Amino acid sequence: MTVTLSCKIHAAKDLRLESEGEAGLAPHEVEVALGAAGICGSDLHYYFHGRAGAFEIREPLTPGHEAAGVVRRTGSAVKGVAPGQKVAVNPSHACHVCRYCREGRENLCSSMRFLGSASIYPHVQGMFRESFVVAESQLTPVNADISFGELAFAEPLAVALHAVNRSGPLLGKSVLVTGAGTIGCLIVMAARLAGAKEIISCDIADHPLQVARQAGATQTLRSDRLTGKELSDIADICIEAAGSKEALATCLQAARRGGRIVQVGTLSAEGLQFPANSVMARELDYVGAFRFGVEFDWAVNYLVSKRIDVKPLLTAQLPLRDAVAAFTLAADKSRSTKVQLTGEAAIM
């Protein structure tokens, strides 16, 4: 029997490398050998805190929801991919029958199974392992010359594209993005693709802002060093991608009258005060952007066609066995933007 190595988080700061036996395949399932998988903010929360927002680890969890790899085995009814084929992996497995799926909003599926998430119990195990089994419908075959590292950005890029999609038309508009991490920088790239005239990136640290400039921001601001007056009424669209109440406050102040605020980051409910009267009096649109839908296919296309270059965001790749070191580096925003774990497919 083939044995595969898997990262398992048992509790806060308790990550173990464990061996798993070969999984069986249902007719429409595919086994994928890991090429590269990015460490996301939610993965960091699971590792350092044992929870991500309201989702608490209740059994050992293999995190990881942004990955690319190579098909190893296929179920008897699989026709769209074959062993040896490079694939991007969509972590969303929607039911396709609930009202939200039928309305074309699969990201809001009432029965969503999202890889590497503790949102339901038993948890949906993720892709920080040497190989994993997913439904054929979650795979996008790729025949182009693109690295696993670049292709693994399809998931976070899809999040960014969905955020920009929720922003409305951006042609000729000014856009402010709070947070210059991976998602924030990818939103900068997506806003450029959508025709934004000016893209302002805000953060409270210098290294992320340097990366944001490489991503295409026309202006970068240390929001912790500015007065409220300097931030007032400077953008048509404000996108909150930092996941902090201070960043949301920046968006609420920076949005022009009649503007729109898009919340992408997950905020702590503790101490959150919302200026509803300001939203009313200035006629601000306030919308959420959660995960993605069809944008995953768009993301793969933009990466493969080189219309978006994510290489400036990739800080480091470490082998799966060095997962703890990778998590530590990924948490240090003074040194890293995106850190990935690599598997056996990366050296095939």
Q: Where are the domains of the chain?
A: 3-153+310-347, 160-288
Residue 321, CA atoms < 13 Å, CB-side half-sphere: 2
Which residue type, as a one-letter code, is found at position 127? M
Cα separation, 156 vs 345, in Å, equals: 21
CB 312 within 8 A of CB 338: no
pTM above 0.85, yes or no: yes
Partner residues linked to 201 by β-bridges: 177, 220
160-288 has the same fold as 3-153+310-347? no
Please state whether beta strands 174-178 and 139-142 pair in parallel, antiparallel, or not at all (unpaired). unpaired
- CATH, domain range 160-288: 3.40.50.720
Query: Which pair of structure tokens corresponds to residue 333?
Result: 């925003």
Helices (H), 125-181: 148-151, 154-166
CB 15 within 8 A of CB 323: yes
- Tell me the pLDDT of the chain (348 aa) as tens digits: 466 899 999 999 999 999 988 888 999 999 999 999 999 999 999 999 999 888 899 999 999 999 999 999 999 999 999 999 999 999 999 999 999 999 999 999 999 999 999 999 999 999 999 999 999 999 999 999 999 999 999 999 999 999 999 999 999 999 999 999 999 999 999 999 999 999 999 999 999 999 999 999 999 999 989 877 888 999 999 999 999 989 999 999 999 999 999 999 988 767 677 888 989 999 999 999 999 999 999 999 999 999 999 999 999 999 999 999 999 999 999 999 999 999 977 654
Cα separation, 104 vs 96, in Å, equals: 9
Q: Can you identify the CATH homologous superfamily of domain 3-153+310-347? A: Medium-chain alcohol dehydrogenases, catalytic domain (3.90.180.10)
The dihedral region occupied by 195, where left means phi > 0, alpha psi between -120 and 50, and beta the remainder, is left
